Amino acid sequence: MFEEIKNKLKNCTFHSLNDDRKVKLDTITDFIIKNQQQPLPSQLIFVCTHNSRRSHLSQIWFQIVAEYFSIQNVYSFSAGTEVTALHLNVIKLLENEHFKISIEFQKKNPKVEIDYGGQQKIISFSKTINDVSLPKSNFSCVMTCTDAEKNCPFIPEADFRFSLPYEDPKAFDNTPQVERAYKKTSDNILTEMMYLFSKINNEKKIKMD
């Protein structure tokens, strides 16, 4: 893992999380811990309407933090109810956070290779829940925006559906606050993933003892 990204994780704290957010996160944590005890894989698809911002950031930080804590048998994906593209402001954010990015610029919905120096590069592109790249069984959905919660179609194959909405930085596009807004949303997501996996890691340590 790139040193800059590893240091960001090391310096991340979650003391500011309120009880309502912890309850939402604990529901997901308990689900993963239960699967770990089986053992069964935990495949989470983060869903937001356009699959362009928050769902991708959730997928990315979930995978990175899982690797940081050496939590095995967990997998993250992202999808939407519409196909757009991974937004350029998200790509700029990732570059500012020291990720190495490779993009197929010639396509309207390019596949973006995201390298964080870890075990596996992340391939991001906008897709619907029915995309062939996503699991078709033994998966759960995490709704990252309230719009997707209301409009996402019923997915009978999903084992569970969790609610974890985040503030949309889209409102700040083309404004002087755009970089700060995207960083705030990204940092909020990272903070909550650190909380989630720290609890899973503590449970793993207890089991080993």
Q: pLDDT tens digits, residue range 23-76?
A: 999 999 999 999 999 999 999 999 999 999 999 999 999 999 999 999 999 999
Asked if residue 207 is part of any domain, the answer here is: no
DSSP, collapsed to helix, strand or coil, labels residue 100 as strand
pLDDT at 207 over 90: no
- Which of 62, 96, 90 lies closest to 76, judged by CA? 62
Instruction: Please report the pLDDT score of residue 7 as a whole number.
Output: 97
Asked if residue 89 is part of any domain, the answer here is: yes
Question: pTM of the prediction?
Answer: 0.94
Cβ atoms 155, 23 nearer than 8 A:
no
- Number of independent structural domains in the chain: 1
Asked if residue 192 is part of any domain, the answer here is: yes
Asked if residue 209 is part of any domain, the answer here is: no
Say which residue, 151 or 100, is predicted with more confidence. Answer: 100
Asked if residue 30 is part of any domain, the answer here is: yes
Domain with 161 in it: 3-201
pLDDT at 11 over 70: yes
**CATH number, residue 182:** 3.40.50.2300
Asked if residue 31 is part of any domain, the answer here is: yes
- Distance (Å, rounded) from C-alpha 38 to C-alpha 163? 24
Phi and psi for 151 in degrees, rounded to 5?
-105, -10
Instruction: Please report the pLDDT score of residue 206 as a whole number.
Output: 67
Instruction: Please report the pLDDT score of residue 152 as a whole number.
Output: 67
Q: Per-residue confidence at 102, pLDDT binned at 50, 70, 90?
A: very high
- Burial of residue 197, with CB atoms counted within 10 A of its CB: 0-12 exposed, 13-18 middle, 19 or more buried: buried
